[in-house]
Copies of this chain bind each other. A is one copy, B any other.
């Protein structure tokens, strides 16, 4: 047989280089995957497998149908048919070995140093293997996130309080950095801690830490204001108990200001959805 792979198809040589291998024997699959690893391709394996992991934690996954992804940087993902998270994985830069063992099956072994971790996938059946050399230089921009929110409020401090003047962002205080530092209309120092999502008790405690560190370092008691779109009950209880303040911020207002700054309008997703 000239070609050791059944149903082997090579497509789009000049663009995405992609190969598929349908219903191979485990031995054929092993050869195909080894070759794809040498090419540093992204590999997707669909079939029936068991998974063992040992490292920072330890787990065992019994037999079932899943798909396994080996990426071009050595990361490995084992995905079940439901759920966002992979059930098992190995981070980038893992060393990957593939072997066929007659008595066991197709082994995909990923090892990582520091911390030392092992992931072993044992396939008892392979339905499909895909190998693809993906080229992806597309820019990724997250344009509504915590840094954005911080910058917008730094430029428009009235969103927090009238008369507030912001003097620094990410000001080092103690062993950390407070999001915003400024003075209020009475000239009193103000520390602002920002949360993009609902603020928890932890955020209140974090702010308290900054307030105390500031007092130790500057000998002056600053106001501490926690700014967030919402607050958990325990956050409010803790804030009041610790003598701190809080302000709601309307994320929609922040977004509006962000979009005003961005000249080129980003098309709404509604434009794509049907009426």
Q: How far is the CB of A142 from chain B (nearest CB, A)?
A: 4
Q: Can you list 16 A-B contacts (CB < 8 A)?
A: A16-B65, A57-B142, A57-B196, A59-B140, A59-B144, A61-B139, A62-B138, A64-B135, A65-B132, A66-B134, A69-B79, A81-B136, A127-B132, A130-B130, A175-B233, A205-B206
Please count how many residues in chain A sit with their CB below 8 Å of the partner chain's CB atoms.
Answer: 92
Q: Provided the pairs A92-B82, A237-B175 are in contact, do residues A44 and B58 lie with their beta carbons within 8 angstroms?
A: no
Q: Which of B18, B81, B139, B201 meets A127, CB within 8 Å?
A: B18
Asked if residues A201 and B197 are in contact (CB atoms below 8 Å), the reply is no
The answer to whether A38 has its CB under 8 Å from any CB of chain B is no
A79 to chain B, nearest CB (A): 7
A158-204: which have CB < 8 Å to B? Answer: 175-176, 196-197, 201-202
A residues with a Cβ closer than 8 A to B are 7, 9, 11-12, 15-16, 18, 20, 22-23, 42, 44, 46-48, 50, 52, 54, 56-67, 69, 71-73, 75, 77, 79-84, 87, 89, 91-92, 97, 99, 104, 107, 109, 111, 118, 120, 122, 125, 127-128, 130, 132, 134-145, 175-176, 196-197, 201-202, 205-206, 209, 233-234, 237, 255, 266-269, 272-274
Residues in B whose Cβ lies below 8 Å from that of A75 = 82-84
How many angstroms from the CA of A254 to the CA of B99 in the assembled complex?
33
Residue from the list B46, B87, B132, B142 in contact with A46, Cβ < 8 A: B132
Additional 16 contacts, C-beta under 8 A, given A72-B81, A128-B130: A16-B47, A59-B140, A59-B141, A59-B142, A59-B144, A64-B138, A67-B69, A69-B79, A81-B135, A83-B92, A122-B272, A128-B132, A175-B237, A176-B201, A176-B234, A202-B206
| Copy total for this chain | 2
Q: Which residues from B are CB-within-8-Å of A80?
A: 134, 136
Residue among A54, A91, A233, A267 with max Cβ neighbours from chain B (10 Å): A54
- Residue of B whose beta carbon sits closest to that of A144: B58
Given contacts A59-B140, A67-B134, A120-B272, contact A46 B18 (CB under 8 A): yes
Contact present for A9 and B7 (CB under 8 Å): yes
